[in-house]
Chain A
Amino acid sequence: MLASIIASGLAVGAVYALIGITYNTMFATSRVMSFTAGQLGMLGGVFGSLFTLRLGLPILPALVLTLACCALIGVVTEIVAVRPVLKSLDQHLYVLTTLAVALLIQHMTAMEWSTEPQPFPRLLDLGSGIWDEKYWLPVAVCILTILGLEYLYRRTLVGRAFVAIAEDNFAARALGLPERNLRIASYALAGAIGALAGFAGGQLLLAFFANGPLLNFYGFIPVALGGLGNNRGAVIGGFLLGLFQQAANFLVGGIFSSVAVFTLFIIVLLAAPQGMFGAQAARRV
């Protein structure tokens, strides 16, 4: 039982962590919590199934196309739901606009794809039991993604520009950084990361339009637990959430496990409002 809890807990935790990173990537350059993150994860599964099973493409081209499509949707989100409300961030209008786009994506998927879950293919056909690829693949992809992002942010010029925008938007613009282009690029990157979450977790979650709200909710928890904008915190928060959720599933059953998860979430936020790994924000008085 313990092995099963760990295998499935880490797998769903990795998917939640990747959605958390999607939230963070969009937040870093725009200060907007875009509620399209979960839908991008859902689309990763749907596009993956579409390109591989319906259109018969090999896995690699299907993955590339999935990432490209979701990156494009990320860019469209930036243009239609984020950019128009950036001037009035304090009014939190982005909640409305990004939720509207999320709903649009979900309903379009329901109409054009299916309201029933559709199969997702075996990707590598490796492993069985608790070593089945559906458990370890999301974990591996999550680790590779966080390593890739660390490399991007620390070793590349574009990555450093992202960090500069995230640290101080005004100063970065004053230095001549193309803030708008970098923001568009970060939304494209977030779209690709969300797609990766859905693609890697497709065998667990299936290609199902209703996965969007689920990932939106459970992907937000690692962000809150790990500290807003902190990717390493989101990864640790995601894995902890997955393990706790699966343990609660085993111990108290499906319905009550959601209650247990949200109870723990509230307790953690009461104890550490900035998240477990977030720094206390200094406020000038």
Chain B
Amino acid sequence: MTITRRALALGGTSLAAGAAFSTHLATPALAQNEPIRIGWLAALTGPSSAPGIGFNRGVLFAAEAINAAGGVKGRRVEIITRDTQGDPTKAVNATQEMISQLRVHAIWGPTNSGESLAVTAIMARAKMPNIHPCVVDTLIDERRYPNAFRLTPSNTQWDDAVRSYCLTRVNAKKVAVIGDTTGYGVSAVNASVAAFQRDKAEVVYKANIDATQPDMTPDMLRARNAGAEAIVFWSVSTGLIARLLNTRANMNWDVPFVGHPAMSSGEVGSLVERPANWEKVYAIGYKSCSYDASGNLPPRTAELVRRLAGKVNLQDSLLWWVSSAIDAVELIAKAVEASNSTAKEAIIEHWNGLKAYPGYYGTYTYSPTQHNGYPTEEVVMSAANSAKNGAFALAPGY
């Protein structure tokens, strides 16, 4: 039999039409049974992979728990993960793939601000429901990015919590504000200084230090000579933190350090010359993931930890990474359940109406004009050297 071009064209057209027709007919049935596809932009490898791995444990746990309980109205939750390696370019590619090819219903992540800055506008153009744990303030803009919701506190909320702790619990009226020389370090120090000055506190010393500077004695001496009663610190550089703490000890100065969560990183513990050098260091933490004076977690978190036992390793991770990821997956699932739809608009509308939603990591409240849903009063200071099963003891004064 000879195949002519006309026959081939006719056949192809008929096949395409048939496929389109059958797809059209099948759509309602598929929509009721098709899985809820959640895109998960995870930095699972590369320099910022530690939080990514922690978040991932929470994501998998939540998805398995929901599916084991029968899914969301019979629909399974399907997690579609792409490893961005912390690289904004890879995050952009993965986002576009999730939007145009994988057709996910909502995206959780990325988990660091550099990546999020690169993908937020792309998701906004596609009206993709997005929830993320990144702290940079500009990532949330309800008018430009009505699809983007923040699960964690913003930088401003961190700053408010640190300032409040210094002024009301440490009773420090004169503070030194120190950060590194990265864009984040400079902007965080400037914002912190401005906020302290608005609250009529005296910023007696302000510095941005190169993270590779070998000797911190000059800056610490200048801070002490200026009369600093607390040192507010903004940097993720564990080397810089450890050097400052070692210098503080060598100067026999017991000024408290208050600030960035990186101060509670295990890396700092390995870099300080003596364990005592890590005392009086208070890093940003969360009420839901903090031990009280009796060494107990809040009841809801304690119940979660019992559920996680034997399934999720908390020894090399932080509890809030795991619990916030569980909340993110559950927030998406609840939106589908409540609206009975995986339509983008329906998920966003549901989130916009959430009031005091009780998650494991926080109590979230969103509205069409406020997508920073984490309550500032749940941001607390933790004793940086008190890590146990991914949670920290509350700093003194609570």
Partner of B47, one of A11, A110, A117: A110
Task: Determine whether the beta carbon of B181 is less than 8 Å from that of A12.
Answer: no
Alpha-carbon distance A253/B267, docked complex (angstroms): 26
Instruction: Check if A145 is an interface residue, CB within 8 A of chain B.
Output: no
Of A154-162, A181-189, A201-209, A222-230, which stretch is located at the interface?
A: A201-209
Task: Determine whether the beta carbon of B271 is less than 8 Å from that of A206.
Answer: yes
Task: Determine whether the beta carbon of A254 is less than 8 Å from that of B211.
Answer: no
Partner of A117, one of B219, B221, B242: B242
- Residues of chain A contacted by B96 (CB below 8 angstroms): none
Contacts A117-B271, A119-B271 given; does A214 touch B212 at CB 8 Å = yes
Instruction: Check if A167 is an interface residue, CB within 8 A of chain B.
Output: no
Alpha-carbon distance A12/B213, docked complex (angstroms): 10
**Of residues 224 to 239 in B, which have CB atoms within 8 Å of A's CB atoms?**
237-239
Instruction: Check if B376 is an interface residue, CB within 8 A of chain A.
Output: no
Alpha-carbon distance A79/B217, docked complex (angstroms): 42
Task: Determine whether the beta carbon of A119 is less than 8 Å from that of B270.
Answer: yes
Task: Determine whether the beta carbon of B267 is less than 8 Å from that of A249.
Answer: no
- Residues of chain A contacted by B242 (CB below 8 angstroms): 117, 206
Task: Determine whether the beta carbon of B213 is less than 8 Å from that of A254.
Answer: yes
- Residues of chain A contacted by B217 (CB below 8 angstroms): 4, 8
**Of residues 19 to 42 in B, which have CB atoms within 8 Å of A's CB atoms?**
none
Of B103-111, B115-123, B202-210, B302-310, which stretch is located at the interface?
A: B202-210
Query: Which residue on chain B has the smallest CB distance to residue A15?
Result: B214
Alpha-carbon distance A255/B209, docked complex (angstroms): 6
Alpha-carbon distance A276/B62, docked complex (angstroms): 67
Query: Which residue on chain A has the smallest CB distance to residue B273?
Result: A122
A-contact bits for B168-208, CB 8 A (1 contact / 0 none): 00000000000001000000000000000000000000011
- Residues of chain B contacted by A119 (CB below 8 angstroms): 270-271
Task: Determine whether the beta carbon of A8 is less than 8 Å from that of B215.
Answer: yes
Alpha-carbon distance A74/B214, docked complex (angstroms): 25
B-contact bits for A1-26, CB 8 A (1 contact / 0 none): 10010001001100000000000000
Query: Which residue on chain A has the smallest CB distance to residue B47?
Result: A115
Task: Determine whether the beta carbon of A254 is less than 8 Å from that of B270.
Answer: no
Q: How far is the CB of A159 from chain B (nearest CB, A)?
A: 32
Q: How far is the CB of A199 from chain B (nearest CB, A)?
A: 15
- Residues of chain B contacted by A201 (CB below 8 angstroms): 214
Task: Determine whether the beta carbon of B222 is less than 8 Å from that of A258.
Answer: no
- Residues of chain A contacted by B271 (CB below 8 angstroms): 117-119, 206
Q: How far is the CB of A48 from chain B (nearest CB, A)?
A: 15
Alpha-carbon distance A206/B267, docked complex (angstroms): 12
Task: Determine whether the beta carbon of A246 is less than 8 Å from that of B211.
Answer: no
B-contact bits for A233-267, CB 8 A (1 contact / 0 none): 00000000000001001100111001000000000
Query: Which residue on chain A has the smallest CB distance to residue B272?
Result: A119
Q: How far is the CB of B214 from chain A (nearest CB, A)?
A: 4
- Residues of chain B contacted by A11 (CB below 8 angstroms): 214-215
- Residues of chain B contacted by A34 (CB below 8 angstroms): none
Q: How far is the CB of A15 from chain B (nearest CB, A)?
A: 8
Alpha-carbon distance A139/B237, docked complex (angstroms): 27
B-contact bits for A190-217, CB 8 A (1 contact / 0 none): 0000000000010011101011001000
Instruction: Check if B389 is an interface residue, CB within 8 A of chain A.
Output: no
Partner of B214, one of A110, A204, A250: A204
Query: Which residue on chain B has the smallest CB distance to residue A250?
Result: B218
Instruction: Check if B250 is an interface residue, CB within 8 A of chain A.
Output: yes
Task: Determine whether the beta carbon of B212 is less than 8 Å from that of A205.
Answer: yes
Partner of A254, one of B47, B209, B239: B209
Alpha-carbon distance A119/B242, docked complex (angstroms): 10
Task: Determine whether the beta carbon of A204 is less than 8 Å from that of B238.
Answer: no
Task: Determine whether the beta carbon of A8 is less than 8 Å from that of B214.
Answer: yes
Task: Determine whether the beta carbon of B238 is less than 8 Å from that of A250.
Answer: no
Q: How far is the CB of A29 from chain B (nearest CB, A)?
A: 30
- Residues of chain A contacted by B207 (CB below 8 angstroms): 253-255
Partner of B221, one of A1, A204, A206, A208: A1
Task: Determine whether the beta carbon of B238 is less than 8 Å from that of A249.
Answer: no
Most B CB atoms within 10 A — which of A1, A110, A211, A254? A254
Task: Determine whether the beta carbon of A116 is less than 8 Å from that of B238.
Answer: yes
Task: Determine whether the beta carbon of A258 is less than 8 Å from that of B210.
Answer: yes
Instruction: Check if A129 is an interface residue, CB within 8 A of chain B.
Output: yes
Task: Determine whether the beta carbon of A211 is less than 8 Å from that of B212.
Answer: yes
- Residues of chain A contacted by B213 (CB below 8 angstroms): 249, 254
Alpha-carbon distance A45/B208, docked complex (angstroms): 25
B-contact bits for A88-127, CB 8 A (1 contact / 0 none): 0000000000000000000000100001111100000000
Alpha-carbon distance A49/B282, docked complex (angstroms): 29
Task: Determine whether the beta carbon of B215 is less than 8 Å from that of A246.
Answer: yes
- Residues of chain A contacted by B270 (CB below 8 angstroms): 118-119
Query: Which residue on chain A has the smallest CB distance to residue B217?
Result: A4
Q: How far is the CB of A205 from chain B (nearest CB, A)?
A: 5
Query: Which residue on chain A has the smallest CB distance to residue B262?
Result: A116
B-contact bits for A133-176, CB 8 A (1 contact / 0 none): 00000000000000000000000000000000000000000000
Alpha-carbon distance A234/B221, docked complex (angstroms): 30
Q: How far is the CB of A167 from chain B (nearest CB, A)?
A: 36
Alpha-carbon distance A118/B271, docked complex (angstroms): 7
Task: Determine whether the beta carbon of A12 is less than 8 Å from that of B47.
Answer: no
A-contact bits for B238-249, CB 8 A (1 contact / 0 none): 110010000000
- Residues of chain B contacted by A110 (CB below 8 angstroms): 47
A116-B239, A204-B214 given. 7 additional CB < 8 A pairs?
Answer: A12-B215, A119-B270, A253-B207, A254-B207, A254-B213, A254-B218, A255-B210
Nearest 3 A/B pairs, CB to CB:
A117-B239, A249-B218, A8-B215
Q: List 12 A-B contacts (CB under 8 A).
A: A4-B217, A116-B238, A117-B239, A117-B271, A205-B214, A206-B239, A206-B271, A210-B212, A214-B212, A254-B209, A254-B213, A258-B210
